[in-house]
Amino acid sequence: MWFKKKKKEEIDFDRLPAHIALIMDGNGRWAKKRGQLRTYGHRIGAESLKVIIRHAQKLGIKIISFFAFSTENWNRPQDEVDEIFRIVKDLIKEKKEDCIKNNMKFVIIGEREKLDPDLVKEIEDFEERSKNNDGLIVNIALNYGGRGEIISAVNKILADKLESVDEATFRKYLQTSEIPDPDLLVRTSGEQRLSNFMMYQCAYSELYFPKVHWPDFREKELEEAIIAYQKRDRRFGAIKK
């Protein structure tokens, strides 16, 4: 039988999402399916993170954000929490010099008080030494919660004794003040919720929920997400002429 060859869908490089945000979910289920410990899923998930950063840079994406640890994730068993932070530390140690050399700018959002001081030092060094780079911006949300971010913005506004603020001023008090809102938000593993991730910033983001668990989210899956995004019609409340 003769089949008409399906045209391969391609990315339109003139219409890339400037900012892609990723909720890296499903590490635990991915590991369990393979008879492994949840922490094994986090280790392999870290490989996906590296692959996605490299591929985003290659494709010409400007900003990429990752949800690595939420303010609610402290409710997990201590062993798992410790292992996640060990993985984050190892990842920074392994990739820091490479990222700086490759012109990437590294940003961490989230509350730092609760983090291990050694990790905070590493993060600050990474941010400081990459701050003048003008390539891919890699934003990692670590001990981050969207509600907490909004509340702390309000508290800073009160401390500054402002009587009222508009949206432009309010944004300056958010931890993402330096970066534009995500155009595309991806959450892996089929869950369709934000789980306290950048709710304010994602007001007009296109949402995409692939079934794959995060450890299986690699180059092809990132490209599929971008292609799906490019099929959306972003109207921002207006009507197309």
Catalytic residues: 25, 73
For ligand IPE, the binding residues in 1-40 under the rule CB under 6 A are 23-29
Separation CA 119–CA 139 (nearest Å) = 16
- With CB under 5 to 8 Å by kind, the binding choice for 195 among Mg ion, ligand IPE, none is ligand IPE
Residue 28 in contact with residue 41, Cβ under 8 Å? yes
For ligand IPE, the binding residues in 216-235 under the rule CB under 6 A are none
Q: Considering only the stretches 1-9, 10-18, 130-138, 190-198, report the one whose residues sit in contact with ligand IPE under the rule CB under 6 A.
A: 190-198
Least distance to Mg ion, CB of residue 209, Å: 13
Separation CA 219–CA 5 (nearest Å) = 23
Among 20, 68, 109, 115, binds ligand IPE (CB under 6 A): 68
Among 21, 61, 64, 69, binds ligand IPE (CB under 6 A): 69
- With CB under 5 to 8 Å by kind, the binding choice for 71 among ligand IPE, Mg ion, none is none
CB closer to Mg ion out of 25 and 181: 25
190: region left, alpha or beta (phi > 0 left; psi from -120 to 50 alpha): left
Least distance to Mg ion, CB of residue 22, Å: 13
- With CB under 5 to 8 Å by kind, the binding choice for 24 among Mg ion, ligand IPE, none is ligand IPE
Asked if 84 touches ligand IPE (CB under 6 A), the answer is yes
Residue 105 in contact with residue 31, Cβ under 8 Å? no
Sheet of 105-109: strand order equals 105-109, 137-144, 63-70, 19-23, 184-187, 206-208
Least distance to ligand IPE, CB of residue 150, Å: 17
Least distance to ligand IPE, CB of residue 28, Å: 3
Residue 24 in contact with residue 185, Cβ under 8 Å? no
The residues pairing with 142 across neighbouring beta strands, listed in sequence order, are: 69
Vertex 127 angle, CA 205 and 19, to 5°:
15
Q: Provide the 10 A C-beta neighbour count for residue 200.
A: 16
Q: Which residues make up the interface to ligand IPE (CB under 6 A)?
A: 23-29, 67-70, 73, 84, 189, 191, 193, 195
